[in-house]
Amino acid sequence: MKNVERKHAEISDRYVDILDHPATQQLLLLANSSKATALEMEKLERLLDAQPDEFSKRLLKIFLECIKSKLLGNAPKGNLYDSNLTMLDAFNVFYKQTPLVKFGHDFVNNMILSCTGGIKDLTVIDIGFGSGIQWIEFLKKSDKNIILNAIDVPSEHSVIMLERFKKSIFELNLVNRVELIPIFKHVEDIEFTSIGKNGFSVVNAALSLHHVLPEKIKSPGRAHVLKGIKEFEPDLFTLIEPDSDHNNSSFELVLKEALSHYSSVFGAINYYIKDRQYVDFIENNFFGKEIENIICNDGAERFERHERFAQWCKSLEVQGFKKMESSALAFQGKDLLVASAWRVF
């Protein structure tokens, strides 16, 4: 078993710890008040407007707007991707403009290639298929043939993204190497053992399993999904997840964790992307929506439930998985993403 390998982005002094920002304590007090007035919100907004640091100002304003929505009870609930094509488009811009998601995809794709050697045929179960961009990159760098079971939520937008994928592989002349099997179901409802295998089998969950609720909130839930993957007995299970904890029941802890995590995420975005238009699009239409879901919702309506990598390890080991290798991408000394490879024992 290899230790976690960490790849660090260069640290810039302009990104301070957001929890030490002078406006953060007032934001925390406002968030924990059930009787915050419009005047108090306006006062905090004026304080933020007066801050010279544009980065912290933008981030804290997003949190302030989320707290307003929480107090007013008018924030969107549940699965963010069911009816939000703009959010998926923002994710694709994020993918193309920064190395963060590519880091995870490259780890998984390289693990598959190193494990398969001369094996030509693969069966892949991809949980949270999205745009399928990971598999376009995999097909371009390999000569493998894939039966690709593309799991995504049952929505009009999942169908649109799948059609875009079909168009891409056709234009790249890759269509003859992919047997695409769309599965538009929530992953909790899937019987993994009913899915056929041919050649080397992979189950991949890239930035998707944190959307599955824990059993204490909904059953079947996250443990049920991990058990189903284990019973499928894949040759390789790969997991990519943010290293953060928004699965806590304490609102104050969730808020502080979100401030710290998204400060690092926004710092990385601003470090890698210099075009303000792209930065604004990603911050407001992707991560801003995640923050809104975390801050404004609890119980079954909080869809973004990230967990620490250590907790994922415990959950997988309980189900009968053994870690093969893992790698973390960090910014400002904080792990943002951890990609890992597992086998059933």
Task: Find the radius of gyration of the CA atoms of the chain.
Answer: 20
Q: Which amino acid is at 278?
A: Y
DSSP annotation of 305 reads -
pLDDT at residue 229 in the model: 98
**How many CB atoms lie under 10 A from the CB of residue 84?**
17
Tens digits of residue pLDDT in 123-158: 999 999 999 999 999 999 999 999 999 999 999 889
| Residue-averaged pLDDT of the chain | 90
Helix (H) or strand (E) segment spanning residue 191:
none
Strand positions, DSSP E, 138-199: 145-152, 178-184
Res. 175 pLDDT band, cuts 50 70 90: very high
Residues in the chain: 345
CB 88 within 8 A of CB 163: no
pLDDT of residue 286: 94
The β-bridge partners of 237 are 203, 342
pLDDT attached to residue 12: 38
Give the pair of three-digit tokens for residue 7: 């790849």
Between 51 and 314, residue with greater pLDDT = 314
How is domain 100-244+307-344 classified at the architecture level of CATH?
Answer: 3-Layer(aba) Sandwich (3.40)
| Least confident window among 174-178, 203-207, 294-298 | 294-298
Q: Which whole number is the average pLDDT over 91-108?
A: 95
Task: Report which DSSP code applies to 11.
Answer: P
Task: Mean pLDDT check: name the lowest of 68-72, 119-123, 135-139.
Answer: 68-72
Q: What is the share, in percent, of the chain residues with pLDDT greater than 70?
A: 92
What per-residue confidence (pLDDT) applies to 11?
34
* Domain ranges for the chain: 5-81+249-301, 100-244+307-344
Give per-residue pLDDT as tens, 277-335: 999 999 999 999 999 999 998 889 999 999 999 999 999 999 999 999 999 999 888 89
Give the count of beta carbons closer than 10 Å to the beta carbon of residue 310: 11
CB 128 within 8 A of CB 152: yes
pLDDT range class, residue 78, cuts 50, 70, 90:
low
pLDDT at 6 > cutoff 70:
no
pLDDT above 90 covers a percentage of the chain that reads 70
Are the CB atoms for 110 and 217 separated by under 8 Å?
Answer: no
SS3 annotation, 232-265: HCCCEEEEEEECCCCCCCCHHHHHHHHHHHHHHH
pLDDT at site 2: 44
* Residue 234 tokens, joined: 């894949």
